[in-house]
Structure 1
Amino acid sequence: MDDLDKRMMKIALPCIANFAINPLIGAVDLFWVNRMGNALAVAGQAAANQVFSSAFWVVSVLPSVTATLVSKANARGNTDDVQDAVSQALIVGFLISLVGTALMMLYPEKVLSMVLKEGSPALQYARPYLFVRSFAFLPSLLSLIGFSAFRGTLDTSTPLKISAASNIFNAVLDPVLMFTMNMGVTGAALATLAAEIISATSFLSIMLRRKMVRWSKILRLPSYATLKPLLEGGAALQMRNVALNATFLMVSRVTQSLDNTGVAAAAHAMAIQVFQLGGIVLLALSTVAQTIVPNELIEKVDASTGKHYGGKRAAKNVVNRLMTWGFVLGIFMGIMQLLLLPVLQKSSPLEAVREAAVIPSILASVYQMINGLVFIGEGVMVGCGNFLQLSISTIVATIAALISLNTLPKIFGLTGVWMSFGVFNSCRLFGVWLHQTKYGPLSEIALAKAS
């Protein structure tokens, strides 16, 4: 708990709280859909939500690159470069969102076929949910870009306030639309859409007011030279996101195919909530690494004392401290999840679903013990700008996971699906180890050469 820890905690705590909101709201949505007492409704919502999330995250490479570019520009005190980075991300994000929304609205059956088999009973709930959620593509991406821009300037409190306000609105609106107005899963999707619109509007208005972005730059097509860092970083991370979502889509597809009653899919949705509730802290620390590391890499001079600070050695110290926190918190979150399993089990009134979710939920808790190292290590890769190395590591892990998903579920059922998650994250951990000890710019080998 020295000055370095305190500085990181000042940035990390609001970031952790921000990341906690979305899974908690997801848990609220799942709670109310479960109140319908229909496993197929839960399965349909989970399938549509997975498809939307996968389609969204495949093209949401912009926030990670934006946070790194903004952090470097902010460390140099260059406001113009900060505006350029944010404006370019907003322009590209707008164009990508139009394509994503159009595909989900025009071809819902084909999109859902990535997860659900033709004629699946859950389709009757998945189709209307996906239709409404497709309108959230643009506001969701704008909110993420706004969040990354504020992180780049080391302001994590403002995004927390915006997310809290918009998602409280979503939580209040859920039961009203679903039950009072009798809209079912469609009501849950409408509540989420309303929250996303409020969030995106708030981010954009505050960024304009603080001069983090200007309309003149948003409405002007940038040159290729200015777009090049964003596009190159985005292209490399795109490969990673495709690999990640290939894994998650296959997990969802295999889970949906385990039975036609929706029990396995509903149990999987419960286990995912367990996984996310603990992983939010670790994922938040990953984004802290993405922000602090590039800022620390820039050598700076204190105007009052003339003292130099920052640079590679200082960044290495930050990385070591973050990895230590990740390891400790990973173990802590895993133990807490195991203790809270009896409470989380009560979210479903269906006994069959609760029983099927027991072992996957235990595995989800155990995996948190290595996720701290994985998430923060990958955040360090992004902060260092090693996007291609991160993508290659993820692709290798995806190949191993797909092989596991084609074998283990046939033997162990839903438990086999979660065993495959273990294979996936273990391979990612190996990639982190290689980056920090052998091939990364902050490895001891690289630092020794630099000195």
Structure 2
Amino acid sequence: SSASASGSDSAAAAAASSDSALDSAASTASDEADSLLRLRRYCVEMVKPNPIDRQIVRIALPAVGALALDPLVALADTALIGRLGALAIGGVGISNNVFNMSFTVFNFLGMATTPTIAQQFGRGELDKASRTIARGLWISAVVGITAIALLGSLSSPIVRFFGANELVTPYAVAYLRARILAAPLFLASMVCQGAFRGYQDTRTPFLMSIAANIVNLTLYPLLIFTLKLGVAGAGIATAVSQATLTLGLLTLMIRKQMLHVRDLRTPPSVAKLVPLLRTGAVLSIRTFSILSTVSFATATAA
């Protein structure tokens, strides 16, 4: 009787253990099924088109196009300058290094303008956005005019500092002095393009870049070969194309009432410029550090 009771208890325990295992397996299977279902729903949501995706594509594609445009035009420019000889290519290359080192640190004019304009546009503060653009343009004008004076008068020692020898220096100086004339407009274009991005419009700067590069490619052979201006003609063509881009963007901003002319008439106070300059200082230090490191590494390797 005792053995029979013990056997019954063992059978009951085994049955209970089996039921528990089945319940555990069923629970695990249910959890796995729920996880797979959630994963499926997530994947469906990820690939399902929505208005935000279309908006991202609408903004991103022209920006990518603009990035792809510059190297292609630079390649065509190099091919044309190459017909003037190795010294011309070397001079233009050194001048471009000087120009980039001098002005890339002011990329903050566009980088800081975009988020500020985007916030003001989102809040409907269009008058404030116009004043923000005007401040950036005033900074561009002051820095650009200063650059014309400094780089124009010190162009020879500067290009020699960047590695130009006595044979290359005349070409480098001729190109730099011609291109530097558009320095204020070059800096202003950063502000203009940053403002358009803040308004979620990358198409307009892209189309204006196409127009400016068409002007550039048209003037290059005309000034270099037809008028026989050499590398100075190349610099003038680049300056004119930059002016085309900037003046076109400014005209469109005024027409679209993104920028009010009255905001350009009076220079902003230093206090109004401090937020932009504070942000710009950090970005400029970062950019200058990168450029300096690359230049030092290149010079060391050479």
Alignment TM-score, normalising by the size of structure 1: 0.54
Cα distance 1:92–1:196, how it changes in 2: closer, same or farther (>3 A)? same
Map of 1:239 onto structure 2:
285
What letter corresponds to residue 108 of structure 1 in structure 2? S
Cα distance 1:94–1:22, how it changes in 2: closer, same or farther (>3 A)? same
User: Aligned pair 1:93/2:143, yes or no?
Assistant: no
Q: Distance in 2 between matches of 1:114 and 1:20?
A: 31
Specify the SS of the correspondent of 1:121: coil
Q: Distance in 2 between matches of 1:204 and 1:145?
A: 10
Q: Distance in 2 between matches of 1:113 and 1:49?
A: 13
Map of 1:53 onto structure 2:
100
Q: Distance in 1 between matches of 2:129 and 2:109?
A: 14
What letter corresponds to residue 167 of structure 2 in structure 1? P
Residue 6 of structure 1: how far off its partner (Å): 2.7
Cα distance 1:62–1:142, how it changes in 2: closer, same or farther (>3 A)? same
Match of 1:26 among 50, 74, 99: 74
Match of 1:74 among 121, 126, 131: 121
Map of 2:185 onto structure 1:
139
Cα distance 1:83–1:140, how it changes in 2: closer, same or farther (>3 A)? same
Unaligned runs of at least 5 residues, structure 1: 255-405, 414-451
Contact 2:196-2:205 within 8 A present in 1 as well: yes
Contact 1:59-1:96 within 8 A present in 2 as well: no
Structure 1 ranges of 4+ moved more than 6 A: none
Residue 224 of structure 1: how far off its partner (Å): 4.1
Contact 2:94-2:163 within 8 A present in 1 as well: yes
Q: Distance in 2 between matches of 1:171 and 1:77?
A: 40
Map of 2:63 onto structure 1:
15
Alignment TM-score, normalising by the size of structure 2: 0.79
Count, aligned residues: 254
User: Aligned pair 1:172/2:218, yes or no?
Assistant: yes
5 Å-filtered alignment, 1:30-429, equals 30-36=78-84, 38-117=85-164, 119-250=165-296, 254=299, 406=300, 409=301
Q: Distance in 1 between matches of 2:291 and 2:133?
A: 25
Contact 1:50-1:249 within 8 A present in 2 as well: no
Q: Deviations over 1:387-446 (max 9, x none)?
A: xxxxxxxxxxxxxxxxxxx4xx2xxx5xxxxxxxxxxxxxxxxxxxxxxxxxxxxxxxxx
Specify the SS of the correspondent of 1:201: helix
Structure with the larger helix share = 2
Contact 1:100-1:137 within 8 A present in 2 as well: yes
What letter corresponds to residue 63 of structure 1 in structure 2? G
Contact 1:133-1:193 within 8 A present in 2 as well: yes
Specify the SS of the correspondent of 1:46: helix
Specify the SS of the correspondent of 1:172: helix
Specify the SS of the correspondent of 2:161: coil
Q: Deviations over 1:208-234 (max 9, x none)?
A: 111111122112232344323212101
Residue 67 of structure 1: how far off its partner (Å): 0.9
Q: Deviations over 1:183-236 (max 9, x none)?
A: 222221111111111111111111111111112211223234432321210111
Q: Distance in 2 between matches of 1:225 and 1:72?
A: 20
What letter corresponds to residue 182 of structure 2 in structure 1? A
Residue 19 of structure 1: how far off its partner (Å): 2.2
Q: RMSD over aligned Cα, in angstroms?
A: 1.8
Specify the SS of the correspondent of 1:135: helix
Contact 1:56-1:100 within 8 A present in 2 as well: no
Specify the SS of the correspondent of 1:182: coil
Higher relative contact order (CA 8 A, sep 6+): 2
State percent identity of aligned pairs: 30
Map of 2:4 onto structure 1:
none
Cα distance 1:120–1:163, how it changes in 2: closer, same or farther (>3 A)? same
Map of 2:16 onto structure 1:
none
